[in-house]
């Protein structure tokens, strides 16, 4: 058999992606740690014996890194923003995810819910909060009269972190321009921050969701400002049902404020 050609980086990533998807379908969770940001990645070792033609050829022009902030800024509608996120290759999470997960619900809704990031079910369906935690979130919102027609749901990263780990701060920063533009374009009256990750990403507070839940803050992006309420993540409530009473109190506060805002 002739020796197989060496695998390229793209080929290796495609193979890894297929493998992770297959494992996940079999119920096996795979924990792949976050990749270092591009600037910290080791340069590929130099080839020592380049053919003469290659040695004298001019170096191939480097593909410029995409400017996520410029891409996000140039989107003037939510549809255009979704297309911009689809074409953004700067976040490593995209490489192992099956689908980009943008949003579900009504973009004109007064309430925007922002969670941590897609899980396995969301990755498969391309929609946020459709797994067990999502069903829990839907029940919580329904209890205060909110469904898909008057709620808009998204996350702080658009691709599933492998093995359902938390998104790294680099991954959150790479998605941030799109998340902020998303809020600026949707212009919600209120923002519900589901869990500590989106709370830290959007309020810059890392004192823990237990300390900060139920306290109103303000999210300000691109001239749009909206009151924001951090609550326990529905996945946490599934694990710790004894905390549901606190989440219920927070939801009642949210409903009251929404009513005041009309």
Helix, coil or strand: residue 62:
coil
Under rule CB under 6 A, residue 133 binds ligand URA: yes
Q: DSSP code of 177?
A: H
Distance, CA of 163 to CA of 141 (rounded, Å) = 27
Q: Which CB, 97 or 235, lies closer to ligand URA?
A: 235
Assess 128 for contact with ligand URA (CB under 6 A).
yes
SS3 category, 161 = coil
Terminal C-alpha separation, the chain: 73
Q: Is 167 in the site for ligand URA (CB under 6 A)?
A: no
Residue nearest to ligand URA (CB): 115
Which 188-227 positions form the footprint of ligand URA (CB under 6 A)?
A: 194
Smallest gap from Cβ 175 to ligand URA, in A, equals: 13
d(CA 194, CA 96): 24
Residues 67-126 that bind ligand URA (CB under 6 A): 115-119, 122
Q: Which of 247, 228, 229, 230 is nearest to 238 (CA)?
A: 247
CB closer to ligand URA, 47 vs 239: 239
Q: Pick the stretch among 27-35, 36-44, 127-135, 253-261 that binds ligand URA (CB under 6 A).
A: 127-135
Helices (H) and strands (E) in the chain, counts: 12, 6
**Interacting residues toward ligand URA by CB under 6 A:** 115-119, 122, 128-129, 131, 133-134, 155, 194, 235
């Amino acid at each position: 058999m002739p020796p197989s050609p060496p695998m390229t980086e793209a080929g290796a990533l495609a193979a890894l992606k297929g493998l992770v998807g297959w494992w996940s379908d079999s119920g096996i969770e795979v924990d792949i740690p976050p990749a270092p940001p591009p600037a910290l990645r080791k340069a590929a070792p130099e080839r020592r014996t380049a053919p003469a033609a290659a040695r004298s050829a001019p170096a191939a022009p480097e593909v410029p890194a995409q400017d996520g902030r410029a891409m996000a800024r140039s989107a003037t509608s939510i549809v255009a923003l979704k297309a911009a996120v689809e074409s953004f290759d700067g976040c490593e999470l995209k490489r192992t995810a099956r689908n980009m997960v943008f949003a579900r619900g009504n973009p004109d809704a007064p309430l925007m819910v922002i969670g941590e990031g897609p899980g396995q079910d969301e990755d498969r369906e391309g929609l946020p909060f459709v797994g067990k935690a999502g069903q829990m979130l839907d029940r919580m919102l329904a209890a205060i009269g909110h469904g898909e027609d008057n709620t808009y749901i998204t996350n702080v990263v658009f691709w599933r972190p492998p093995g359902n780990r938390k998104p790294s701060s680099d991954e959150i920063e790479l998605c941030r321009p799109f998340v902020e533009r998303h809020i600026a374009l949707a212009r919600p009256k209120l923002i519900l921050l589901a869990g500590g990750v989106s709370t830290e990403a959007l309020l810059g507070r890392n004192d823990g969701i237990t300390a900060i839940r139920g306290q109103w803050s303000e999210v300000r992006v691109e001239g749009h400002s909206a009151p924001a309420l951090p609550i326990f993540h529905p996945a946490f409530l599934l694990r710790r049902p004894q905390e549901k009473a606190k989440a219920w109190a927070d939801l009642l506060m949210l409903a009251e404020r929404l009513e005041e805002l009309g």
